Structure 1
């Protein structure tokens, strides 16, 4: 095997984790507005900062005025489960799963809520179900971008305008990097720890008019915890969507999110964020295309993520190795890279096929992706050789 020299140039910011993700370039704690710290989130100042975060989210993501935006507890998981537990059961539901988080929502619906008419449609890692065959007379739950598989839905054309059920999109690794069709999405969730590199613990839920109608006309048969309740007396609690949060948020995390939103706005908004993510994904793809030992887990470029890019070993490169041996190889590579401060957190997700995962969202710089490639080659040679 040809010996690979240790590269000289390192990524300036070797943060490639898929959550929490890299901070915006130039981020520093002194840049945060800290006046709301130590103040009640119910104070005039606290509510105004929460409302400002909601308003900036609407502006940058181009969310129509018809949709409500709320900051909720429990990260994206909390936002998804709030939606599922509050609204499912009114109609039959189809659960689409092609990676671990989608599988998690299947567990919620089938094993926890125990909905008898839930239909589960799965695809293996790297693939996606036949979206054109999805029954839209009932509700549909799916991940827009599979964080652990690197597979995303290519667009929203498969979602019918005359659908009878609601669409529930877990879009946590898609927002701020992909253009979402808000008229097609009735419930959308994310956490700001993903594409904008915010701090963990808080989720965002976005409700279209049809979702609000469901909430106000349907009462599930099971009890709802306080943190899931979005209605009172059959009416939407509007305050949730104006910054009057259900429980106490971290105002430090809120200010950090506002910092990232204002950074995004200074770049030019959503188009600039999408362009940065696309540039990063293209830079990584250029290295993959030139590297014989690695390939994309998502074989179809049309469904390949531009944020959580997942890679697998080429079959010929790991011939004779079982999954345990491949997983050990990944672990060794990740350890070598971290020890060199060349790349942090690039091991694939534990439930995915053994491989690498590189975050290419907008807070990452393309130059760092380009500098990463030679280090991945070096780590492969060290670990596999």
Structure 2
């Protein structure tokens, strides 16, 4: 019989979005001067620009790329890119999990682009060698619901005719990005840095800007998608002049997370923390006979949204493990995504402490023993 652990994780927040706040976070530490002020005031614009500047510094975004804060989280940012830039060339869409499948649905049913669709089942990557880069290419850098990431960007050629659109919401701040290979990259605050939801980041390379200024989509664009006026990029959007009203409280929370990241050593330290967390969980998986990684290939296995399956265990038993751990306050929100194979999904991003991952593994052993003994 597996003994019940005596120590809980200090922070049992293993949700894959919104993700754990940074270590030591409290709301009292947030700057409040901008609250109750207009986002178009001198102070408001300065704080928005500060968030953009810190983003550039920590992620190493080159000066050739523009950064904007946009509405509606990563979804809003990616949709904005799709609706404003697609249609000029043929499109290839890659899908190996639910969010990639969502972009396929939009390209097929909403924009009616008749894209080439290259898929793979959950836990695997599609054939990246089969991509025609004469097309615009849609992909997720890290499949949040499958735990499968692109291992690198070597499969994207430097010389390409089409644009690349990377949904990197669970990859940035934890995995390297080759900015020369990403014409469009999007993410949201509530993933790897544990910020608040509702705001997205849109990062455009020079080829994406050229597309925006030379191509007009055939469909009408809602106001919150418009990035061009009179044939020229609206530069203010990339200098903190947001299209609509942002939550300045969420902005201050994002700045707090960025400043924490800077204080611990920036991107190198963030990636090391995520790698350490994923390694701790992987060591437990390798010594535990009843659990396996959904992503079989370690080279393309996520270090943030780690997805696990429990072969031979009925779905209701898996859900019972999740419920028991939540009841015990040992782990919150670790069930697999609703469209994914039944299993566990444990966030290992940089805002999680490795000590909490290690504590969680003992609780997983105990919960499994309790459920299978019942």
CA distance in 2, matches of 1:37, 1:173: 28
Name the residue aligned to 2:113: 115
Q: Deviations over 1:283-305 (max 9, x none)?
A: 00000001011000000000000
Alpha-carbon offset, residue 376 of structure 1: 0.7
Any unmatched runs of 5+ in structure 2? none
Matched, 1:251 2:239: no
Listed as ranges, the matches of 1:149-298 within 5 Å are: 149-298=146-295
Question: Which one of the candidate residues 4, 7, 21 is aligned to 2:5?
Answer: 7
CA distance in 1, matches of 2:209, 2:186: 15
- Write out the 4+ residue segments of structure 1 that deviate beyond 4 Å after TM superposition: none
Name the residue aligned to 2:43: 45
Aligned-partner SS, 1:169: strand
Listed as ranges, the matches of 1:78-157 within 5 Å are: 78-116=76-114, 118-157=115-154
Matched, 1:302 2:290: no
Matched, 1:329 2:298: no
Name the residue aligned to 1:339: 327
CA distance in 2, matches of 1:382, 1:41: 52
Q: Deviations over 1:21-46 (max 9, x none)?
A: 00000001111001000000000000
CA distance in 1, matches of 2:225, 2:72: 10
Q: Deviations over 1:125-161 (max 9, x none)?
A: 0000111221101100000000000000000000001
CA distance in 2, matches of 1:273, 1:138: 33
Question: Which one of the candidate residues 60, 65, 68 is aligned to 1:67?
Answer: 65
Alpha-carbon offset, residue 278 of structure 1: 0.2
Aligned-partner SS, 1:11: coil
Name the residue aligned to 1:354: 342
TM-score, normalised relative to structure 2: 0.99
Aligned-partner SS, 1:168: strand
Name the residue aligned to 1:374: 362
Alpha-carbon offset, residue 330 of structure 1: 2.3
Alpha-carbon offset, residue 164 of structure 1: 0.5
Matched, 1:24 2:22: yes
CA distance in 1, matches of 2:249, 2:273: 26
CA contact (8 A) 2:13 2:332 kept: yes
Q: CA RMSD in A?
A: 0.7
CA distance in 2, matches of 1:280, 1:249: 33
Alpha-carbon offset, residue 339 of structure 1: 0.8
Any unmatched runs of 5+ in structure 1? 319-324
TM-score, normalised relative to structure 1: 0.96
CA distance in 2, matches of 1:329, 1:196: 32
